[in-house]
Chain A
Amino acid sequence: MNILGDDPAFRSGSVDFCGVRKTINLAFTPEVQPGDFVLVHVGFAISRIDGEEAARTFKYLEHIGALAEEGLAP
């Protein structure tokens, strides 16, 4: 995502949805920075996807998957 415009109330960003770019309103996510991943609903970014939380959860999920592969878990 890239940021367009500086006014915090009307900050918008250009968000890449798998190759399609759309201009998205950032009024509810003042903290986002270029390069962030955001959750978009009806033209507004409603959260910044927390990369650390996602990585932590996913590491745990991969661990479950790997254990199952080795026959160590159900």
Chain B
Amino acid sequence: MRYVDEYRDPQIAHALAGKVACMATRPWVLMEVCGGQTHTLMRYGIGDLLPKGIELVHGPGCPVCVTPLELIDQAIHIAGLPGVIFTSYGDMLRVPGSHCDLFQARARGADVRVVYSPMDALNIARENPAKKIVFFGVGFETTAPANAMAVWEARRQGIANFSMLVSHVLVPPAMRLILESPKNRVQGFIGPGHVCTIMGFREYQELADEFHVPIVVAGFEPVDLLEAISMLVAQLEEGRAEVENQYSRSVEYKGNIAAQRVMRDVFTVADRKWRGIGEIAQSGLVLRKEFAAHNAERVFQLESLFVEEPKECISALVLQGLKKPVDCPAFGKRCTPMSPLGAPMVSAEGACAAWYQYKRHA
């Protein structure tokens, strides 16, 4: 497939890894923020190609993983109400709440449907006027414009039986939290290419300047990631801290203006709790007041919940790059992808789940 296969060329990958080995005069700790990139790094064993001193740590960028337990519980509650069709991206269905997941809710009779796009949920609403259709709007900036468009269209077309349970998070505030921690080990970031396709990289410039940390916006194929690592090591060795764009075939400095406009019209920035980490100021998106009629929290008059997370889980430390999944005593024993204790074991893109799938036997 064009623009994919060539970025999996093993010869180029090895050459890039060799370039990194030549440049690196001392150890460096790099973090990829995005779960999609975590998955590629693990799947292709990219860490093993690199010289020993280059350590890759995995960031909090899996939206499924960081959706708070409270919200999963609320989703399950809504899905179980009579007259509701609950729609979601497939990967949210097996995320455990405090008692069960949406798959189990469906097994008990709830009408839970997987959709490919929020616009499919809107179509279900149009076709089922007597039912209440709820879409679980989860994701980072990449998904926010699509979810915003569904709400915008629901209002424009007067589809009153459509609402959204929103759990949107933003990448830069999470990077800031990591950089502000006195225990921070991360010296360079692989930037999230799809998030930056939407948002551009102005906000990343601010982080690079403020914390003197290099950031390379990267794609999702092995060669993309190796090139980004090579660009980061070059910057670190030369004492530079700039934002560079490895993913220029998709990302522009200003991002996708049309997508940002819809996002801004429908959502506003608010404080948001992240599973495993806790509340991060101004790190999420909520629906604007004008769209209250399509806000599932209002429609179903949900009360705020507080659910305690399992104490044994060290996900907060894993998600900030302070511990590796294998440092956790529960990893692979009491915590597996089939029965996860915490956020990063939940989705295939989570650091613990990717580690479990690809490196458990290493």
Contacts and interface: CB of A to CB of B under 8 A. Distances in A.
Contacts of A37: 2-3
Contact of B146 (A43, A49, A73, A74): A43
Contacts of A6: none
A25 B142 CA distance: 15
A43 B117 contact: yes
Nearest to B1: A18
A69 interface: yes
B258 A73 contact: no
Q: Report, as a range, how many residues of chain A touch the other chain.
A: 20 to 34
A52 B14 CA distance: 25
A67 to B, nearest CB: 7
Given A47-B197, A49-B3, A68 B146 contact: no
A71 B140 CA distance: 43
Contact of A64 (B6, B15, B194, B259): B15
A50 B3 CA distance: 10
B22 interface: yes
Nearest to A50: B249
A53 interface: yes
Interface in A41-74: 41-44, 46-47, 49-51, 53-54, 56-58, 61-62, 64-65, 67-69, 73-74
Contacts of B259: 28, 44, 46
A11 B251 CA distance: 22
Contact of B12 (A30, A42, A62): A62
B118 A49 contact: no
Given A43-B120, A64-B12, A74-B18, A58 B143 contact: no
A3 interface: no
A27 interface: yes
Interface string B301-323: 00000000000000000000000
Interface string A5-45: 00000000000001000000101111000000101011110
Interface string B239-264: 00000001011110000101100100
B19 interface: yes
Contact of A42 (B2, B11, B16, B116): B116
B119 interface: yes
B89 interface: yes
Given A25-B149, A27-B149, A42-B118, A68 B14 contact: yes
Given A25-B119, A28-B259, A53-B249, A41 B16 contact: no
Contact of B142 (A46, A58, A61, A62): A46
Contacts of A50: 248-250
A18 B1 CA distance: 7
B3 A44 contact: no
Contacts of B133: none
A15 B120 CA distance: 17
Given A47-B197, A74-B22, A69 B11 contact: yes
Contact of B194 (A25, A39, A54): A39
A50 B144 CA distance: 23
Given A29-B258, A43-B116, A61-B223, 13 more contacts: A27-B262, A28-B256, A28-B259, A37-B3, A39-B197, A42-B89, A42-B117, A44-B259, A47-B251, A49-B249, A64-B19, A65-B11, A68-B11
Closest 7 CB pairs of A and B: A43-B117, A74-B18, A68-B15, A65-B12, A54-B249, A28-B259, A74-B22
13 contacts: A27-B258, A43-B118, A43-B146, A44-B149, A44-B259, A46-B256, A47-B251, A49-B250, A53-B249, A56-B248, A62-B12, A65-B15, A68-B14
